[in-house]
Amino acid sequence: MVCTNNQSPLFIEPGMNTFQCNWGKTLSFFTVFVVALAAVFQYLEISETVEIPRMDLNAMEENYRQKNRTCFILGASGETGKALLKEIVEHNIFSKITLIGRRQLTFEDKAYENLVQKVVDFEKLEEYAEAFQGHDVGYCCLGTTKAKAGAEGFVRVDHDYVLKSAELAKAGGCSHFHLESSKGADKTSSFLYLKTKGQVEAEIEELGFERFSIYRPAVLLVDRQESRPAEWMARKFLGAFSSVFPTAMSIPITSVARAIFVNTLKDGEQKVEILENKAIYELGRIGDKK
């Protein structure tokens, strides 16, 4: 008996049933699919070239610490915000760290006991301008999903809250604003998620910060506390490829946090800088090797 597919004939011994024949077809198709996917990932991996200069992070940290700067973090209860806060607290580069959020956070580690927390109502942010005053650096890790908040809720959080926070930060004296965005962000995109991310990037740029750093990570590899089924499946699938193609379609959330931290220490070469996934990954590796 012979079972054929588009690739090559499969010779089946007498007695093999239709199920076994179909299984052969499925296996052949899956093999071709994996090879094609690997080729795509390899292309994405090498399509973006990044050159990271050598850095003495110890010296950079000490130099930055001497500037006696302060910062605020928006979204410290989220996964990126938590990882970023951990980096900043451990390296102790700011004289004051303020968390701005909708609720008070609790920490067991004594390293967090000197944090200042400002609870705000994001629907009435203009009434909380004081919370944004007097900070040199601002980190924005706010974000939700369309599945969780609906289309209107998503735009309200990822655009309206973020933009208003940036406006208040600029008015309050913030000179360096960091924004966690997304790979593929584009204000002209037909996809709501990418369009919203791109629009808020462009509108914050117009505010004229002395330095505006935009981070566009791909799928974040992290075990979230909240349930996001689609993202969970993507992480499981992409995680299998991440060891071979670490920057093609995903990135560990710890790498994002370290990259933001390292980029804070660097002197800005441009007023507005966009760090795509590979650049984020490479900066994160520097932080990891310190």
Question: Which active-site residues does the annotation give?
Answer: 193, 197
| Coil/strand/helix, residue 251 | strand
Q: Which helix (H) or strand (E) holds 11?
A: strand 9-11
Q: Which residues pair with 119 in a beta bridge?
A: 101
How far from 246 is each of 27, 39, 46, 94, 218, CA to CA, in Å? 26, 14, 11, 31, 11
**Using the 8-state DSSP alphabet, how is residue 268 labeled?**
P
Q: What distance in Å separates the CA atoms of residue 13 and residue 117, rounded to the nearest whole number?
A: 72
Angle at 37 between CA 31 and CA 38, to 5 degrees: 90
* Short-list 237, 200, 201, CA closest to 221: 237
How far from 29 is each of 25, 36, 41, CA to CA, in Å? 6, 11, 18
Cβ neighbours around 263 below 10 Å, total: 22
Q: What is the DSSP string of 94-158?
A: -SEEEEEESS-----SGGGTT-EEEE--GGGGGGGGGGGTT-SEEEE-----HHHHHHHHHHIII
- Give CA 179 to chain center in angstroms: 9
What tokens appear for 286 in the block?
A: 């520097």
